[in-house]
Structure 1
Amino acid sequence: MPKLSIIIPCYYNEENIPVTTRELIANETLFPPEVTFEYVLVDDGSKDKTLQTLLAFRDAYPDKVRILELAGNVGSYNAIVAGMEYATGDCMAIITADMQDPPELMVQMYGYWKQGIKLIIGNRQDREETGLQKWFAEVFHKTMKSIALPNIPDGGFDFVFFDRQVCEHVVGLQERNSNLFYLMVWLGYPYVNIPYVRRKREIGKSRWTLKKKIKLLIDSILAFSFFPIRAISVMGILLGIGALFYAFYIIGLKIVGDIEVEGWTTLMLVLLFVSAFQMIALGIIGEYVWRGLDATRKRPLYVVKDVYQSEKANLK
């Protein structure tokens, strides 16, 4: 019988979890009867009552629930990798704890998996959110599609269904400062994408801050594209060509004796522009160097403080 492992990262989700778990249990009835379920919920260093709420869910369904408590907050992507490492299913799904993604879509995803598709993506055709959050998401994914991964679906995604083979590849890579979902596409497996409308969050407050979004954008670009380095090279060449022509121009004025002691404003503008470009270039190069250093240190992506599961559970 195929086992489906549903992996859910949790961070300050004490209000969401009762609703989320209730919907997930109800969603089981939509699957064929031969499917068994495993829920792997990862507490990513929450300081509220998230862990206690997760343990209550484990107590209600001891044969199918495993709770991972991480020692500290490592970010949702690393928490997901922890869940993937401990999951034992033949196929797996990642869904958020705030129920913005429709769990019933997993039934259709499972159907594609049964046909041999190893990666199924639920991509956001639209979002019920408005304002800056929606605008940033659109810019983020359009940027990534244009300069890094042209084969990703439109609209962005973090709701995926995948085979155990994909899981083993991702866990084995242990890649830092990257984008977990783009990494799945990067592996090269043919995938199917299913468009849906992302729901508006109804319970609690999102901890996905603008600072975290900007970091993810930088991580994603640097992890999957050499565009920033290439842009520095192209800009350097253009500035060099411009400087060469300007040098010829100054030499010409000197030869004909038409040069005057002027140009302070022009000189300062050019100096400030070139200096700013140099600082930006050094910053971009520094980002790449830092990521290389971080990889060579081989620190763990996460530290599992404790694992809560029933002894009767058929879990790893």
Structure 2
Amino acid sequence: MPKLSIIVPCYYNQDNIPVTVQDLLANEVNFPPEVEFEYVFVNDGSGDDTLGALRRAQAAHPVNIKIVDLAANVGSYNAIVAGMAHATGDCLSIITADLQDPPELMAQMYCYWQQGIKLVIGNRQDRAETGPTRWFAQAFHWLMKRLALKNIPDGGFDFVFFDRQVNDEVVRLRERNSNVFYLMVWLGFPYVTIPYVRRKRSIGTSRWTLSKKIKLLIDSLLSFSYFPIRAISAVGLVLGVIALLYGFYIIGLRLTSPNEPPGWTTLMVVMLFVSAFQMVALGVIGEYVWRALDAARNRPLYVVKHVYAPDAPGQNPSPEH
């Protein structure tokens, strides 16, 4: 009997949890009756009553809901890895707690998995958001497809259905400052995409701030692309050639003209230009260096405070550790 683990990262989602749980449970009717379900909710250090809402949901449905309560906020991608590490299903899916992605697509994804497809991607063809949020998302995925992973689908994705083997490989990597969804594509397994339109959030407000989006862009680019460091090398080479030619030009003026060229403006422009490039280059190199240092420290991606495991009917869910 196949078991499906649905991983739901939660951060300040106390109002979403009752609706999310009911929608996920209602979605079970779209699957064959032999499928067993496990819901792994990961509380990513929420400062509201998200954990309380999860415990109440677990008390109402104790058999198939597991809660992984993290000691601190570690970011949604590390929280997802924590959920993957505690999931026990033969196949797994990741969906957000605000249900902007339609859970009813999971049944179609499950059919692809039964056919031997190890990774199924819900591919956003459009999104209900407008303004800067939409523009940033479009720019992010355009850059990633052209500078990092050329085989990712257009439009971006964070709604996936995948095999146990994919899950174990991602958990084994334990990669820091990365994008867990792009890691699944990077593994190289053939995948299929299912297009859909992402819904507008109807409950609560998003905690996905601009600074987090920029960090994700930098992390994703540096994790999957050497373009920034190669661009520095290319620009440095071009500037070196220009400097060499300009040097020959100055020497020629010195030899053919009795008066030295004033050159003050030119000298200052060149110095400022080269200095600015050096600062940018040092910044990019520093981004790579601190990531190498972070990996060398080998600190855990997350610290689990409690795991509230599902119990038999009629019993109160209790922490594993």
Q: Same fold (TM over 0.5)?
A: yes
Q: Is 1:18 paired with 2:18?
A: yes
Q: Deviations over 1:271-292 (max 9, x none)?
A: 1111111011011111111111
Aligned to 1:112: 112
Q: What is the percent sequence identity of the aligned residues? A: 70
Aligned to 2:281: 281
Deviation at 1:172, TM superposition (A): 0.4
AA matched with 2:306? D
Q: Is 1:197 paired with 2:197?
A: yes
Q: Deviations over 1:49-70 (max 9, x none)?
A: 0000001111111000000110
Count of residues in correspondence between the two structures: 316
Deviation at 1:269, TM superposition (A): 1.8
Aligned to 1:211: 211
Distance change >3 Å, CA 258–CA 249, structure 1 → 2:
farther
Is the CA contact 2:253–2:261 (under 8 Å) kept in the aligned structure 1?
no
Secondary structure of 1:102's aligned partner: coil
What CA distance in whole angstroms lies between the structure 1 residues aligned with 2:191 and 2:221?
22
AA matched with 1:58? Q
Is the CA contact 2:16–2:204 (under 8 Å) kept in the aligned structure 1?
yes
AA matched with 2:174? Q
Aligned to 1:48: 48
Deviation at 1:296, TM superposition (A): 1.0
Aligned to 1:78: 78
Aligned to 1:124: 124
Is the CA contact 1:67–1:309 (under 8 Å) kept in the aligned structure 2?
yes
Q: Deviations over 1:229-288 (max 9, x none)?
A: 100100000000000111111111111116545232222222111111101101111111
Is there any run of 5+ residues in structure 2 with no aligned partner, and where?
Answer: 314-319
Secondary structure of 2:100's aligned partner: coil
Secondary structure of 2:246's aligned partner: helix
Distance change >3 Å, CA 258–CA 149, structure 1 → 2:
farther
Query: Which TM-score applies when normalising by structure 1?
Result: 0.98
Q: Is 1:270 paired with 2:243?
A: no
Aligned to 1:150: 150
Q: Which range moved further: 234-243 or 251-260?
A: 251-260
Deviation at 1:310, TM superposition (A): 3.1
Secondary structure of 1:208's aligned partner: coil
Aligned to 1:174: 174
Deviation at 1:123, TM superposition (A): 1.1
Distance change >3 Å, CA 258–CA 11, structure 1 → 2:
farther
Q: Is 1:238 paired with 2:249?
A: no
Secondary structure of 1:273's aligned partner: helix
What CA distance in whole angstroms lies between the structure 2 residues aligned with 1:68 and 1:259?
77
What CA distance in whole angstroms lies between the structure 2 residues aligned with 1:182 and 1:248?
48
Query: Which TM-score applies when normalising by structure 2?
Result: 0.96
Is the CA contact 2:253–2:260 (under 8 Å) kept in the aligned structure 1?
no
What CA distance in whole angstroms lies between the structure 2 residues aligned with 1:240 and 1:3?
60
Aligned to 2:297: 297
What CA distance in whole angstroms lies between the structure 2 residues aligned with 1:64 and 1:259?
87
Is the CA contact 1:58–1:309 (under 8 Å) kept in the aligned structure 2?
no
Secondary structure of 1:103's aligned partner: coil
Q: RMSD value over aligned CA atoms?
A: 1.5
AA matched with 2:26? A
Aligned to 1:65: 65
Q: Deviations over 1:181-225 (max 9, x none)?
A: 000000000000111101111110100000000000000011011
Secondary structure of 1:5's aligned partner: strand
Aligned to 2:163: 163
